[in-house]
Amino acid sequence: MKKLNGTSIDRIIEMAWEDRTTFEAIEFQFGLKEQEVINLMRTEMKLSSFKMWRKRVQGRKTKHEKLRNFEKGRFKCSRQKSISNNNIAKR
């Protein structure tokens, strides 16, 4: 497995928890295959958190690009334009 710094590990864990982020997106960005992400989650998380994550992810179509069926591109939040530097602009 590649050497990853703490920031990268935190981001991979965050992406793995997100429902709409695929394992292929994690592989593209960090070079980790699905099994490597699972192993990382197993070593970096508490056992109970890992088990909860595996239960959520197992069989989830949105975690694999080939199983997804988007007609119109990727998901985009309706407020995304107003978000900058991780802050939501005042409305």
pLDDT digits (tens, 9 = 90+) for 12-41: 999 898 877 888 888 888 899 989 999 999
pLDDT tens profile 6-18? 888 999 999 898 8
Q: DSSP per residue over 1-27, as a string?
A: -----HHHHHHHHHHHHSSS--HHHHH
pTM tops 0.85, yes or no:
no
d(CA 64, CA 55): 15
Strand extents, DSSP E, 1-91: 83-84, 87-88
